[in-house]
Amino acid sequence: MRRLRGVNSGSWLTNVSAVLSRLPSTFIRSWSPESDLSRQLFPEAENGNGKLKLENGSRIGVIGSGPAGSFFSHFLLDMTRRFGVDVGLDLYDPRDFAVIGPTGCNMCGGIISESLVQMLAAEGINLPTTVVQRGIDSYMLHTDMGSVRIDTPLHEKRIAAIHRGTGPRDIDAKDIKWFSFDRFLQELAVDKGARLVRDRVDTISWQDGRPRIKTRRGLEQDYDLLAVAVGVNSPSLKLFQDAIPQYQAPQSTKTFICEYKLGPETLEKYLGDSMHVFLLNLPRLEFAAIIPKGEYATLCLLGEDIDKPLIKSFLESPLVRKCLPPEVPPEPPPCHCSPRINTYGAVQPFGDRVVFIGDSGVTRLFKDGIGAAYRTAKAAAETAVFAGISREDFRAHYWPKCREIDVDNKIGKAIFALTRIWQKRPHDLRGIVLMVAKEQADKKRAPHMSMVLWDLFTGSATYREILWRALHPGFLSRLVWNVIVGHVSLIRGKLP
Ligand SMILES: Cc1cc2nc3c(=O)[nH]c(=O)nc-3n(C[C@H](O)[C@H](O)[C@H](O)COP(=O)(O)OP(=O)(O)OC[C@H]3O[C@@H](n4cnc5c(N)ncnc54)[C@H](O)[C@@H]3O)c2cc1C
């Protein structure tokens, strides 16, 4: 019981069962007294073959304290503590999330998907009202063929709208009512015992088989395990790629985000509690959304290399103008940025004593990146605590989680390709809008299309689940019927 010392015998079984109840099913399935997992949980049964694993006194370095880094630190410290393993964890990030404007912000639309809100609640992490600025209860789908409102399938406000930083560039300090989501997560990690180091990691090298980091301020430190969570907007990814040759950074493309300061009354009048989603026939634009928050509305444009002409065409579109007050000029407001978003996951995001999580590893295509950061961070922490920290451990236990997301993204790419075709075919688009409108007007109808679109735009379900739903005979027959009605009504010039 060497590793379990420090845990009193009365709470020992409770601790093990509490942790086991939170393990993924693959771990549970692999459990047996002789299995690898049991040897890892009870190391005295191990044959002492020099396996790379965490033990008392191990030091862990986490680079980046966006969602991935903070979730990883929180879970790893929680799990090691439950097993009585005493490790030290340093969490590096130069960003101070208490600072107003871009320097304190990790640039994002700020939607926390329903599935993530639920998973966090199951972990005992409830998002406070000082962080959640608005509960989104519906979305408005705007297309060239009409607009339609889709309510939350279960009529609950479960999507949370947040700001990643303390507030946009033009916020008055006296108007700050909500706190940064990333700061909230960082504090969760610090509460579990992470040591926050406000410094940028500039180099990684290897010393006797252990990763060594050096920061901008000259701090040097060796670690037993390094978790890299620097996202895709950091030039550091290139450094890490050089130090860990088997790793290839994810591919990414440029997006656009801006923050409109509208005030609560105007927000209520123009946007309400709905996220406004646009499917417009603009080349290279995959998806656009306006998300109401407390005082601001966040506009996000996702697609392929979003540039100034595309932003201009979008902002000048009459459908977009209708969602904003007339006094707002069709130009980007003072707080705007062009962060990158992943289009392909990293190649081999792990090695001996190193693992890449969140955007630096694999994330969901165009959706729920924070949810993917949670999943990859938790899977990496579970692997490090229960399996080991060698390349083979990460390959066996961490990589399957990443591959699941990767495969799902391939389905997502096919779904987005289909949406692009719809965007260019007004008659079909009309049929889709009609189908949603009928479903929303008659609550007794099965909401086939509403559910597909809800999950597609909110990121609440996997792309695989969306595809599965779209293959339902009821969905397909209604779609064909509504597309025919859409064609006929357009030809006759009658719009039902
Ligand atoms: C336009 C746009 C809209 C989006 N909208 C949403 C949305 O509505 N909902 C959603 O779930 N996801 C959304 N995402 C995706 C989401 O932003 C990311 O998936 C998520 O932020 C990934 O978290 P992360 O921790 O991996 O990386 P990041 O959030 O990028 O965090 C990386 C951290 O690493 C730090 N760092 C970088 N380099 C170093 C270094 N050398 N040393 C120390 N620290 C370093 C940075 O300061 C930063 O704090 C959106 C993305 C884009 C581009």
Task: Give the pLDDT confidence score for residue 163 in this predicted structure.
Answer: 97
Query: How do residues 178-208 score in pLDDT, each as one tens digit?
Result: 999 999 999 999 999 999 999 999 999 999 9
| C-alpha 343 to ligand 1 mean position (Å) | 14
User: Do the Cβ atoms of 212 and 338 come closer than 8 Å?
Assistant: no
Res 490 pLDDT > 60: yes
| C-alpha 399 to ligand 1 mean position (Å) | 20
Q: Whose CA is nearest to atom 22 of ligand 1?
A: 359
User: Do the Cβ atoms of 252 and 302 come closer than 8 Å?
Assistant: no
User: Do the Cβ atoms of 235 and 242 come closer than 8 Å?
Assistant: no
**Dihedrals phi, psi of 209, to nearest 5 degrees:** 75, 5
Task: Give the pLDDT confidence score for residue 146 in this predicted structure.
Answer: 87
Return the SS3 of 421. Answer: helix
Q: Using alpha carbons only, how large is the chain's radius of gyration in Å?
A: 24
Q: Which pair of tokens denotes residue 7?
A: 């845990």
| C-alpha 68 to ligand 1 mean position (Å) | 8
According to DSSP, the residues that pair with 340 across neighbouring strands are 254
- Position 187, amino acid: E
Per-position b or e across 323-347, b if 16+ CB within 10 A of its CB = bbeeebeeebbebbbbbbbbebbbe
**Dihedrals phi, psi of 244, to nearest 5 degrees:** -125, 85
Segment 330-357 mean pLDDT: 96
Res 288 pLDDT > 90: yes
Count other C-beta atoms under 10 Å from residue 47's C-beta. Answer: 7
Distance CA 320, CA 339 (A): 22
Task: Please list, in sequence order, all residues whose beta carbon lies within 8 angstroms of the beta carbon of residue 490, skipping any fewer than 6 positions away.
Answer: 426, 427, 430
Distance CA 244, CA 357 (A): 14
| C-alpha 478 to ligand 1 mean position (Å) | 39
User: Do the Cβ atoms of 236 and 63 come closer than 8 Å?
Assistant: yes
Looking at the chain, the number of H-run helices and the number of E-run strands are 17, 21
CA 301 to ligand 1: nearest atom: 1
Angle at 229 between CA 27 and CA 85, to 5 degrees: 50
**Dihedrals phi, psi of 493, to nearest 5 degrees:** 75, 15
Angle at 487 between CA 481 and CA 490, to 5 degrees: 135
CA 339 to ligand 1: nearest atom: 53
User: Do the Cβ atoms of 327 and 262 come closer than 8 Å?
Assistant: no
Res 164 pLDDT > 90: yes
Query: How do residues 248-280 score in pLDDT, each as one tens digit?
Result: 999 999 999 999 999 999 999 999 999 999 989
| C-alpha 116 to ligand 1 mean position (Å) | 16
Confidence of residue 357 (pLDDT cuts 50, 70, 90): very high
CA 372 to ligand 1: nearest atom: 19
| C-alpha 232 to ligand 1 mean position (Å) | 7
Task: Give the pLDDT confidence score for residue 458 in this predicted structure.
Answer: 83
User: Do the Cβ atoms of 210 and 224 come closer than 8 Å?
Assistant: yes
Q: Whose CA is nearest to atom 5 of ligand 1?
A: 109
Distance CA 312, CA 27 (A): 50
Closest CA to 27 of 494, 398, 474: 398
Closest CA to 168 of 304, 329, 6, 295: 295
User: Do the Cβ atoms of 67 and 164 come closer than 8 Å?
Assistant: no
Task: Give the pLDDT confidence score for residue 495 in this predicted structure.
Answer: 54
Tell me which of 62, 63, 186, 234 to substitute to probe ligand 1's pocket, judged by most ligand atoms within 8 Å of the beta carbon.
234
Lowest mean pLDDT among 52-56, 57-61, 287-291, 487-491: 487-491
CA 64 to ligand 1: nearest atom: 34
Q: Which pair of tokens denotes residue 443?
A: 């609550």
Res 485 pLDDT > 80: yes
Tokens 């792990």 -> residue: 350
CA 257 to ligand 1: nearest atom: 1
| C-alpha 233 to ligand 1 mean position (Å) | 7
Tell me which of 73, 91, 96, 106 to substitute to probe ligand 1's pocket, judged by most ligand atoms within 8 Å of the beta carbon.
106
Report all structural domains of the chain as residue ranges with CATH numbers, in order of start.
2-97+182-251+342-410 (3.50.50.60), 102-179+256-338 (3.30.9), 425-492 (no CATH)
Query: How do residues 365-419 score in pLDDT, each as one tens digit?
Result: 998 999 999 999 999 999 999 999 999 999 999 999 999 999 999 999 999 998 8
Q: Whose CA is nearest to atom 12 of ligand 1?
A: 369
Segment 416-440 mean pLDDT: 87
**Dihedrals phi, psi of 74, to nearest 5 degrees:** -60, -50
DSSP string, 361-413: S---SSS-HHHHHHHHHHHHHHIIIII-SSHHHIIIIIHHHHHHHHHHHHHHH
Ligand 1 pocket, Cβ-based, cut-off 6 angstroms:
63-69, 92-95, 106, 108-111, 200-201, 229-231, 233-234, 236, 255, 257, 300, 302, 339, 341, 358-360, 363, 368-371, 373
| C-alpha 229 to ligand 1 mean position (Å) | 9
Distance CA 66, CA 185 (A): 8
Angle at 152 between CA 146 and CA 154, to 5 degrees: 140
Return the SS3 of 88. Answer: strand
Tell me which of 108, 233, 256 to substitute to probe ligand 1's pocket, judged by most ligand atoms within 8 Å of the beta carbon.
108
Confidence of residue 477 (pLDDT cuts 50, 70, 90): very high
CA 360 to ligand 1: nearest atom: 26
Tell me which of 240, 299, 359, 456 to substitute to probe ligand 1's pocket, judged by most ligand atoms within 8 Å of the beta carbon.
359
Distance CA 423, CA 418 (A): 9
Closest CA to 197 of 393, 25, 291, 64: 64
Segment 210-224 mean pLDDT: 97
| C-alpha 342 to ligand 1 mean position (Å) | 10
Query: How do residues 6-58 score in pLDDT, each as one tens digit?
Result: 223 333 333 443 444 444 444 433 433 334 443 444 343 343 446 899 999 99
User: What share of residues in the chain are helix, strand, coil (percent, to 5)?
Assistant: 45, 20, 35
Q: Whose CA is nearest to atom 19 of ligand 1?
A: 369
Segment 64-83 mean pLDDT: 97
Segment 69-83 mean pLDDT: 97
Closest CA to 397 of 407, 388, 406: 388
Distance CA 156, CA 152 (A): 6
Segment 169-176 mean pLDDT: 90
